[in-house]
Structure 1
Amino acid sequence: MSRTTASVAVLAAALVLAGCSDSSDASDSSGSRLSVSGAYIPQPVSADMAAGFLTISNSGGTKDELTSVTSGDGDVTLHETTGGAMEQVSRLPVPAHGQLVFKSGANHLMFDKLKRKPTQGDTVTVELHFAESDPVVVKMPVKSATYIPKTGH
């Protein structure tokens, strides 16, 4: 293999790997700059309900709000946990230069009326809708029921 061919092969491999990220980005004229990372669903015990976790980061100078989440796999609602009590909410803030974190025991996505029980190794696709920014599509891998992310989310 020539040096040129080897260089092209390495560059092509790097470009393919760059596209294999667990984050999704959205930005528009609103001034928000959103990215999503750390998305996952613990394998649920129930056949028709599950929880989902992720982090939405806003590197822009304008706040935004997550207003809904949709999925072809079932209904998804936003839940906030305060003082140990879980409550469904219609929107959650994504602060400018800040994060909206969904983690076990706190804010989370609640999947209901699932069309199939997600099992470890599956992927569930959701679309995040915002008050100002364009929607973001996120592929959420299903992890073991006892999975604990390295980031603490």
Structure 2
Amino acid sequence: MRHLAVPAAVMVGALALTLTGCGGSDDAKAELSVSSSYMPQPVSDMAAGFLTIANKGGAADDLTSVTSDAAGSVTIHRTVGQSMEEVKSLDVPARGQLVFKSGGNHLMFENLKRQPKQGQKVTVELHFAKAGPIKAEIPVKSATYNPATGH
């Protein structure tokens, strides 16, 4: 039976190439995923959230809102110079990424319904202009967590 496995794999690969080649530029779409998420343990009824949204697709999309059962509201902020401002959406470029990090773009969880503790996770749903929503779990880290050092 092993001799059938190679031709089947070749057929699947050829089919994938054929299907990939069929679409024109009109078929380009965002292919989104979430990684590197974390929330420093909050010390008040507000918390910040950080993550990376990668787009392996050929079309850009926009993050338009974020919801979570853990907070009354979640807002999207960008940092320009030394000031932060709430925005309605942020671009997720084609074949690029949107990074939320300390000192830069971030999510603000306001009116927390409970005080998340280190080791717990906060579930969010990310909403986009074109792609469907993505659910993600954000692990709660220590209040002084730095992803560069892992502490």
Within-5 A mapping of 1:2-151: 31-46=29-44, 48-74=45-71, 75-150=73-148
Higher helix proportion, which one?
2
The answer (yes or no) to whether the contact 1:126–1:140 under 8 Å persists in 2 is yes
Q: Which amino acid aligns with 2:122?
A: V
Code of the residue aligned with 2:108 in structure 1: it is: M
What TM-score results when the alignment is normalised by the length of structure 1? 0.77
CA radius of gyration, larger in? 2
Partner SS state of residue 66, structure 2: strand
Tell me how many residue pairs correspond in the alignment. Answer: 123
Does the 8 Å contact 1:30/1:132 carry over to 2?
Answer: no
Q: TM-score if structure 2 supplies the norm length?
A: 0.78
Paired residue secondary structure (1:120): coil
Kindly provide the amino acid, as one letter, of the partner of residue 117 in structure 1.
Answer: Q
The runs of 5 or more residues in structure 1 that have no matched partner are 1-28
Which amino acid is the alignment partner of residue 138 of structure 1?
A
Shift of 1:150: 3.7
SS at match of 1:37: strand
Aligned-residue identity in percent = 64
Moved over 4 A (4+): none
Q: Which runs of 5+ in 2 are unaligned?
A: 1-26
